[in-house]
Amino acid sequence: MGNERGGHVKDAARRLRMRASVLGQHSSDTLDDPCAQGSVKRPSMPPLTILALALWGACAGSYTLGFRCAREFLVPLIFVACVLFALAIVALMRGAPPTLAVLTLGLAIGCVLGFSATLSYIAKADQVIASPVQEWCFTAEEDARQGDFGATVHVVAHSESNGEEHAVSVTLPKGESDIFYGDSFSATCALSQPREASAKRFYLQGTNAVSSPGAIERLDNSRSLGGVLANVRKSAIALFDGQGDTDALCQALVCGYREQLRDSDLYAACKTVGVAHLVAVSGAHLSITCGMIASVLQVVRTPRRLSLAIQLAVISIYLVLTGMPISALRAAAMAIVGMMSFLARRRRTTLSALGACIVVIITISPQSSVSISFFLSAMSTLGIIALMPLISSWLSNIPIVRRIAEPLALTLAAMVATTPFSAALFSQLPLVSPVANLVVAPLFTLALSVSLVGSVVSLAAPVVAPLALPFANGAAFLLAQAITIFAEIPFACVPVSLSVPWGLALSIAGPLLLWLLWPQLTGATIFAMVSAACACAIALVVVVPLFRPSEIVMLDVAQGDAFLVRSKGSAILIDTGNHDTLLKEALARQGIFHLDAVLITHADDDHCGSLQALDGVVAIDSVLVARDALTCDCESCENLIESASSVVGFANVEPLAVGDAIACGDFSLKVIWPHGFSDEGGNADSLCLLASLATSGGTWTALFCGDAESDQLKEIIDEGELGDIDIYKVGHHGSKAALTESVVEVIRPEISLISVGEGNRYGHPAAQTLSLLDKVGSHVFRADEMGDVSCEFSNDGIRITALG
């Protein structure tokens, strides 16, 4: 009887424990399940994650500070950091608040790593100066990239004579641009330190030398593991060797090779839509892929272990086909951590894993702390792990999106942590990004998965490649079409003016604030917030421009021309310069989201090079060019027409001839030059326009002349089309030939605007030109000294406002 009673008691206890276990598991699942209805518990921040974030920030700050820090101060700073480290350890052992002690510990370790990396960089730089070595073996750390002055590639240089190694940026000889990651070559050349103008950029990359060999000799490294992987990657790239967008997209997805994609309209569309991260070697796109695969496998009730194995297989194949560069290994690590957020029930564990990953990566390579790709990968992963449950709980309150709450929350969580920084980097904000990512992510996962499988099958059995590769191209085509459709939505993207430090601060402060407050929002609150945001956007884009004064603005775009003419809600941009980011920042500063037209004075790159960068960022009705530019067969004009057509369509590329007039609100811009091309679309063929604005106080005039100089202005004067003017856009950036005494005595401008870059290699503006303008009492305003310069017209006069 006693035994029977004891058995019943044990059975009851066992059932009670099982029930408690189930309840506990259910409670944990509810707290951590992103799709759970109602409020969710904020995940606690584990000590390892706090340590990692403090270490990361301190290492990035100290390494950046090290560039300007005197060498003799570095060792004392490292000593101070070591003392701080010891104090943190002692405090932790004596029971100090763990969070404060761990935070101090991370800061100390980060400072030691950052300042030590600076010391190491300086030692390497000294070694470069003193090195007698002329024979070097180079191994490419990335694919060669074609630039304005030839192809360049970052390499590791090794000397077999004395064992020296350096991180070097090599400018390749002409015709040697097909260097891929993992390729090796030798050259007889000297290494030198980077020029002062680019020294900080190379420092932040960890590149301590530059070289320009006259000739290179390719080396066979096919027997090494790196060489084998590099050859596999090149074979995979060759599978998609067509020139179309889908082939270029497959190369980027499967192999991380973006050289064919980089200059395409499709890549511009990716940036417009905010999905450029999907075609880069980053943890963000691998995390999204694994998340999508996990969601699909969960729907079909695939066992968790099998799901994990499939995702790991995808990552492994990707690593092999990309050649296992450091960037891909970092991306894989972040993706595996991201996988844990779907597979693990305790997000605290996942956050600890992310912290460990950050600590290991930065300890191995302190320069990673200032790497843009690492920041975007780590922050997007952190956003997904820490904020996805919160954002998913918001979306679950909205009936229309409840069924897609989890994938949409994944996208939004990653965006919260990266969008401000990305917007600052690229000077544009993709407004359609949340919806675009939601739609594109499944297509991207399909394209990547099919392309990976197709590549492996084709490499293993080339005979089946004609059957397997069309499936990869088909999936890539669907992805490309979706991206293109979103890019064509009006105001898919808008220009922004946000400094990188502010963008970085917002990317950190936004997620931190959400995590600290952990606000619970209802559907009505979210609807009210979205409605308010839409109302503000409409007011900013439609209403505000109607109340702006009539003005001419010289935009600061460095060594190039870009002038804005606007009045009564209309706006025309005259030339674009060739610095994409500077142009978009300038348009954002001026609140420009729509242009009635972009007028290109002539086909030189510093006047039209950034035209395509406006595609999708600013709505443009038409592009205006000189009539003869449409039929000129020179390469520059052909490129100009091709670029203009890609932005607005060929039907909206409109020719201008002498006598034509363009209206822009109260402004009238009359074409006064050229009658016909005599310089193959060069400086002498620049469109010249006389702008006039009638007010009750009189008529104001302004001359725009591109790179036309005194010879052309004299002819215009002789034709009776030009006399005394109020504003003169100084020709050819103020070159010596821009003016002569006879010309300046006729036009006698009250205000002269010189669009010129600081410290430019042409010596613009010339002292002679400045002297002539001074002689007639003209007030000179320069972009390199004053930034944007606005000339605001009223009945009483012209008000000048300088940004700088």
Q: What is the pLDDT of residue 14?
A: 45
Distance of CA 194 to the CA centre of its chain: 24
C-beta separation of 133 from 164 below 8 A = yes
Burial of 281 (0-12, 13-18, 19+ CB in 10 A): buried
Q: What is the pLDDT of residue 4?
A: 44
- pLDDT digit string (tens) for 572-611? 999 999 999 899 999 988 889 899 999 999 999 999 999 9
- pLDDT digit string (tens) for 275-286? 887 787 766 667
More confident residue, 94 or 716: 716
- pLDDT digit string (tens) for 675-699? 999 988 899 999 999 999 988 778 9
Q: Which helix H or strand E contains 350, and what residues bound it?
A: helix 347-364
Of all residues in the chain, what percent carry a pLDDT higher than 90? 44
On the question of pLDDT at 415 being above 90, the answer is no
On the question of pLDDT at 149 being above 70, the answer is no
* Cross-strand pairs, 688: 673
Q: What are phi and psi of 29, to 5 degrees?
A: -65, -40
- The tokens 């564990």 sit on which residue? 349
Least trusted range by pLDDT, from 9-23, 52-66, 336-350, 497-511: 9-23
Q: What is the pLDDT of residue 505?
A: 92
Question: Hey, is 659 helix, strand or coil?
Answer: coil
Q: How sure is the predictor about 220, in pLDDT bands with cuts at 50, 70 and 90?
A: confident
468: left (phi over 0), alpha (psi -120 to 50) or beta: alpha
Rounded-to-integer distance, Cα 194 and Cα 290, Å: 41
Q: What is the pLDDT of residue 473?
A: 92
Least trusted range by pLDDT, from 31-40, 308-317, 645-654, 705-714: 31-40
Q: What is the pLDDT of residue 347?
A: 66
- pLDDT digit string (tens) for 760-788? 888 899 999 999 999 999 999 999 899 99
Q: Is the peptide bond before 765 cis (omega within 30 degrees of 0)?
A: yes
Give mean pLDDT, residues 662-668. Answer: 94
CB hemisphere CA count around 73 (13 angstroms) = 7
Rounded-to-integer distance, Cα 121 and Cα 114, Å: 11
The gap between the terminal CA atoms of the chain, to the nearest Å, is 95
Which CATH code fits 131-221? 2.40.50
C-beta separation of 430 from 418 below 8 A = no
C-beta separation of 654 from 621 below 8 A = no
Q: Give the CA diameter of the chain.
A: 126
Q: What is the pLDDT of residue 1?
A: 43
- Residue ranges of domains in the chain: 47-125, 131-221, 228-517, 548-802
Give mean pLDDT, residues 239-245. Answer: 83
Q: What is the pLDDT of residue 340?
A: 65
**β pairing state of 619-620 and 597-599:** unpaired
**β pairing state of 217-219 and 493-495:** unpaired
Residue 70 tokens, joined: 């005197």
Please report the DSSP string for 779-800 in residue order: EEEEHHHHSSEEEEE-SS-EEE
Q: What is the pLDDT of residue 596?
A: 95
- pLDDT digit string (tens) for 421-479? 988 888 888 888 888 888 888 888 888 888 888 999 999 999 988 888 999 999 999 99
Quote the pTM value: 0.79
Q: How sure is the predictor about 345, in pLDDT bands with cuts at 50, 70 and 90?
A: low
Least trusted range by pLDDT, from 87-91, 137-141, 534-538: 534-538
Nearest 5°: the CA angle 134, 140, 146 is 100
Q: What is the pLDDT of residue 24?
A: 35
Rounded-to-integer distance, Cα 769 and Cα 736, Å: 6
147: left (phi over 0), alpha (psi -120 to 50) or beta: beta
Rounded-to-integer distance, Cα 210 and Cα 128, Å: 10
- The tokens 């090779």 sit on which residue? 257
On the question of pLDDT at 15 being above 60, the answer is no
What is the chain's mean pLDDT, rounded?
86
Question: Hey, is 763 helix, strand or coil?
Answer: coil
Q: What is the pLDDT of residue 9?
A: 42
Q: How sure is the predictor about 30, in pLDDT bands with cuts at 50, 70 and 90?
A: very low
Please report the DSSP string for 56-116 in residue order: HHHHHHHHHHHTTS-HHHHHHHHHHHHHHHHHHHHHHHTT--HHHHHHHHHHHHHHHHHHH
Q: Which one of 40-49, 56-65, 275-284, 521-530 scores highest in mean pLDDT?
A: 56-65
Residue 439 tokens, joined: 């739609």
Q: What are phi and psi of 789, to 5 degrees?
A: -125, 120
On the question of pLDDT at 343 being above 50, the answer is yes
Q: How sure is the predictor about 512, in pLDDT bands with cuts at 50, 70 and 90?
A: very high
Question: Hey, is 5 helix, strand or coil?
Answer: helix
Q: What is the pLDDT of residue 2?
A: 42
The architecture of the domain spanning 548-802 is 4-Layer Sandwich (3.60)
Do 131-221 and 548-802 have matching folds? Answer: no
Which of 271, 275, 269, 299 lies closest to 288, judged by CA? 275
787: left (phi over 0), alpha (psi -120 to 50) or beta: left
Rounded-to-integer distance, Cα 486 and Cα 60, Å: 36
More confident residue, 308 or 542: 308
Q: What is the DSSP letter of 759?
A: T
Rounded-to-integer distance, Cα 90 and Cα 101, Å: 9
- pLDDT digit string (tens) for 364-414? 999 999 998 889 888 988 888 889 889 888 888 878 777 777 778 878 888
Of all residues in the chain, what percent carry a pLDDT higher than 70? 92
